[in-house]
Amino acid sequence: MAGDEHAAPEHAAPEHAALAALDAALRTRPAKDGHEFAQATQCLVAFRNRLTDRQREGKREGADVSTALDQVNALISVVLGAHFPLGTVPWPAVERARAALAKLIADTA
C-alpha cells in the first residue's frame, strides 16, 4: 500500500496491517477484487500463525488464545468472501469484520 498515508507501517504487527488494509478497502470500496483484501488475508493469516505459536508455547491465556483463533478464522472467512464474492462485495459484512478485528486487537493487547 505504498503511498497510502493511512496504511500501517511495514513493520506493523500483522493484525494492525490487516486493520489498515480493511480500512483502505472500506475507503475505496472497489467494485471488483481489490489488493486490500489480499493484503488483509495475508496479514490475518500471519496474526493467526502468531496466535497458534502462542498457544503451542503453553501461555497461560490458552483459553483466550483459542477464542481469538476462532475469531481470526471467522474474520479470514469474511475477508475471503469479500475478496471472491459470488455477487457484489458484502460491504456490511466487511464493516462488521473490521469492527470485530479492532475489538480483538484491543482484547489481545
d(CA 84, CA 76): 12
Per the structure, the count of domains in the chain is 1
The predicted pLDDT at position 61 comes to 59
Cβ atoms within 10 A of the Cβ of 66, count? 12
Is 3 inside any structural domain? no
Residue 10: phi, psi to the nearest 5? -60, -25
Query: In which domain, by residue range, is 44 found?
Result: 14-108
Is 6 inside any structural domain? no
Is 45 inside any structural domain? yes
Which pLDDT tens digits describe the chain residue by residue (109 residues)?
A: 444 444 455 567 999 999 999 999 999 998 877 799 999 999 999 999 999 998 888 765 555 888 999 999 999 999 999 999 999 999 999 999 999 999 999 988 7
The predicted pLDDT at position 56 comes to 86
d(CA 83, CA 25): 10
d(CA 109, CA 39): 22
Residues contacting 20, CB < 8 A, separation 6+: 1, 6, 7, 8, 12
pTM of the model: 0.85
